[in-house]
Amino acid sequence: MPLELFNVDRQLTFYGAYHANRINVLIHIICVPILLWTFQVLVSQLPVPSLLPVVHYTLGDYFCFDLNWAAIHAGLYLAYYIILEPVAALLYAPQLAASVLTATAYSRGSDHIFNAAILHIASWVAQILGHGLAEKRAPALVDNLIGAVVLAPFFVHLEILFGFGYRPAMHKRINNEIGKEITRIRKAESDAKRSAVKSL
């Protein structure tokens, strides 16, 4: 349902049901920011519609702001996160801003595409291995590609915040819902296997 897209409990329950293993969560905590940053590097130099104003600010050698696809992408993500959980989103804003600024600056280098692509692919491989070897189930993107990709950075951010004691009642509530969702999924998978055996 469309309204569920803006229900933080429902969205985190969906994503958390695919990320319950501690090793897999740790892999995502490391790799998701890399995936986000490398994506921003790869799209930073793509042309934007001519109706957008040209905005360019340079802050030293490592920080640069352009009104490019990386900035637009980050703005849309942050707006969605603010709707889901405003305080956590505002706490995430500096990290997201640093990612965009450094990615845009790095994208001006001659070898940015090759280096970013290698890191991007390696991070995807690590996450897929985490799901296969640790979580022992397919990634969330198999069931909901857009939801999984959009939620990943915020889920990782909230996992870190929860570790520092952020909104313990919310954390407990979502963990309980994740447990129920995992039980439901496992029952559905088990029923499907039994049905397949019976049909043989």
Could you tell me where the beta strands, DSSP code E, fall in 31-155? 56-59, 63-66
Residue 39 binned pLDDT confidence (cut-offs 50, 70, 90) = very high
Q: Which tens digits make up the pLDDT trace of 110-168?
A: 999 999 999 999 999 999 999 999 988 777 666 677 777 899 999 999 999 999 999 99
Q: What pLDDT is stored for residue 142 in this prediction?
A: 62
Q: Using CB atoms within 10 Å of the CB of residue 109, give its burial: 0 to 12 exposed, 13 to 18 middle, 19+ buried.
A: exposed
Q: Band of the pLDDT at 13, cuts 50, 70, 90?
A: very high
* pLDDT band at residue 65 using 50, 70 and 90 as cut-offs: very high
9-12, long-range: CB < 8 A, 24+ apart: 9/170, 9/173, 9/174, 9/177, 11/84, 11/147, 11/151, 12/151, 12/155, 12/158, 12/174, 12/178
pTM over 0.85: yes
Average pLDDT for the chain: 92
Q: How confident is the model at residue 198 (pLDDT cuts 50, 70, 90)?
A: confident
pLDDT digits (tens, 9 = 90+) for 67-80: 999 999 999 999 99
